[in-house]
Structure 1
Amino acid sequence: MVATSTPAAPAGRRSPESLAPEGGTARPRLYAIDGLRFLAALAVVVYHFAARWSQVWGAEPGEVFPEIGPVIIYGVLGPELFFVISGFAILMTAWGRDVPHVIASRVARLYPSYWIAVIATSVLLLWIWPAGKDISVGEALVNLTMFQEAFGVRHVDGVYWTLWTELRFYGLMVLFVAWGITRRRLLWACALWPLAAHVVFELQVPWLRVALIEQYAPFFAGGMLIYLMHRQGQSLVPWLLVAMNAGLAVRNTVPWQMHSVSTNTVFTPNPWVLGVLTVGCFAVVAVLTLTRVQRLPWAWLLPVGALTYPLYLIHEFWGWWVIDNLAGHANRWVVLGAAVAVSMVLAWLVHQVEKRTGPPFRRWIDRTLRRRPAPVAVARRRAPATA
Structure 2
Amino acid sequence: MTTTAPPRTAGTDAATPPVRPAARGPRLAALDALRFLAAVGVLAYHFTARETDAWGRDLAEVAPAVAGWATYASLGPELFFVISGFVILMTAWGRSVPDIIGSRVARLYPAYWVAVLLTGSLLLFVWQGKEITGGQVLVNLTLLQSLVDVGHVDGVYWTLWVELRFYVLIALFAAVGITRRRVLWFAALWPAAAMLARELGWSDAVTWLVAPYAPLFAAGMALYVIHRTGHAVVPWLLVAGNTALATAALVPARMDSLGQNSVVAPSAVLLAVALPACVGLVALVSLTPLARWRWAGLTAAGALTYPLYLTHEYWGLWVIHLLHDRAPVWAVLAAATAFSLVLAWLVHRFVEKPFGPRLRRATTAGCERLRDALVGLGGLVRAGFRPGQDPGTPPTTPGSSEPSRIAAKNVGVWSGSSRTVEPAPPGR
Is 1:114 equivalent to 2:125 in the alignment? Answer: no
| Pairs within 5 Å for 1:17-32 | 22-23=21-22, 27-32=25-30
Deviates more, 1:32-41 or 1:196-205: 196-205
Deviations 1:145-180 (A, max 9, x none): 000011100000000000000011001101100111
Distance 1:60 1:205 in 2: 41
Deviations 1:310-347 (A, max 9, x none): 00000111111111111111111111111111111110
The aligned amino acid for 1:61 is L
Distance 1:151 1:377 in 2: 38
Aligned-residue sequence identity (percent) comes to 52
Query: Residue in 2 aligned with 1:354?
Result: 352
Q: Closer, same or farther in 2 for the Cα pair 1:214/1:262, shift >3 Å?
A: same
8 A contact 2:191–2:214 mirrored in 1: yes
The higher radius of gyration belongs to 2
Match of 2:71 among 48, 70, 73: 73
**1:22 to partner: Cα distance:** 4.5
The aligned amino acid for 1:137 is G
| Pairs within 5 Å for 1:1-387 | 22-23=21-22, 27-129=25-127, 131-352=128-349, 353-371=351-369, 372-373=372-373, 378=389
**Count of aligned positions:** 365
8 A contact 1:246–1:282 mirrored in 2: yes
**1:58 to partner: Cα distance:** 1.5
Deviations 1:180-227 (A, max 9, x none): 111221111111111111122222221111011111001000000000
Distance 1:214 1:378 in 2: 47
Distance 1:69 1:336 in 2: 12
With normalisation by structure 1, the TM-score equals: 0.90
8 A contact 1:121–1:314 mirrored in 2: yes
Distance 2:198 2:56 in 1: 38
**1:377 to partner: Cα distance:** 5.4
Q: Closer, same or farther in 2 for the Cα pair 1:207/1:27, shift >3 Å?
A: same
Distance 1:339 1:100 in 2: 40
Deviates more, 1:219-228 or 1:197-206: 197-206
8 A contact 1:60–1:266 mirrored in 2: no
Distance 2:27 2:352 in 1: 21
**1:60 to partner: Cα distance:** 3.1
The higher-RCO structure (CA 8 Å, 6+ apart) is 1
Give unpaired runs (5+ residues) of structure 1. 1-20
The aligned amino acid for 1:250 is T
8 A contact 2:187–2:222 mirrored in 1: yes
Distance 1:125 1:327 in 2: 19
Query: Residue in 1 aligned with 2:383?
Result: none
Give unpaired runs (5+ residues) of structure 2. 1-19, 378-386, 394-400, 404-423
8 A contact 1:50–1:65 mirrored in 2: yes
Query: Residue in 1 aligned with 2:7?
Result: none
With normalisation by structure 2, the TM-score equals: 0.82
Distance 2:206 2:49 in 1: 30
The aligned amino acid for 1:234 is H
